[in-house]
Amino acid sequence: MSGAGNAELTRLLRIDPTYLIVFLLLFAGFFTLINLMSAMLGFQESALQRFFTVLNATSFATLVVVAILYTVQQNENTAKILLISCGVFVVSFYSYVYIKAFSRGLTIVPYPLLIELRSVKGSAYVVDLPQIIVIALLARYVYKKLRKPAAESRSLEEGVG
């Protein structure tokens, strides 16, 4: 990895520990709550399938709460926690889809913004939320990089006119 890549990774990983603790407590709390609810409702899944179902629901709930937190308090730490939450959701979503497809003998066919799950009897389509999240994050990144600061744009307008 280049020196610039190491510097970028180091900058990304500098997060206030308070935000990380809040994220981990939120994630653990949602995991416990959703696990207890699924146990009380009596879902009939294998232990591995139940774990990935609970993990996926937990990561989605945490992502929603962190996204709300980011809209309320926009700072560098909440942006980094949002990126971490998105990463956890992407990994858990694809793990969940793979475990479900593998356990039922389905074939996974990826499309832009969709996943097709095929079997001999038919097929089903699933919205590919991680692709949508990655596209939104890339669009946000490009927007922030291309956006000119207000003082710079004003000076350009005054110089042209």
Distance, in Å, from the CA atom of 50 to the CA atom of 70, rounded to the nearest integer, reads 30
Residue extents of the structural domains in the chain: 3-160
pLDDT of residue 7: 64
CB neighbours of residue 35 within 10 Å: 17
Give the mean pLDDT per block of 10 residues along the chain (161 residues).
58 72 88 86 79 90 91 84 90 91 88 89 89 87 76 56 48
Quote the CA–CA distance of 111 and 136 in Å, as a whole number.
Answer: 17
Instruction: Supply the Cα-derived Rg of the chain in whole angstroms.
Output: 20
What sign results for the dihedral spanned by CA atoms 18, 87, 70, 29? negative
Joined tokens for residue 159: 């110089």
Residue 91 pLDDT? 92
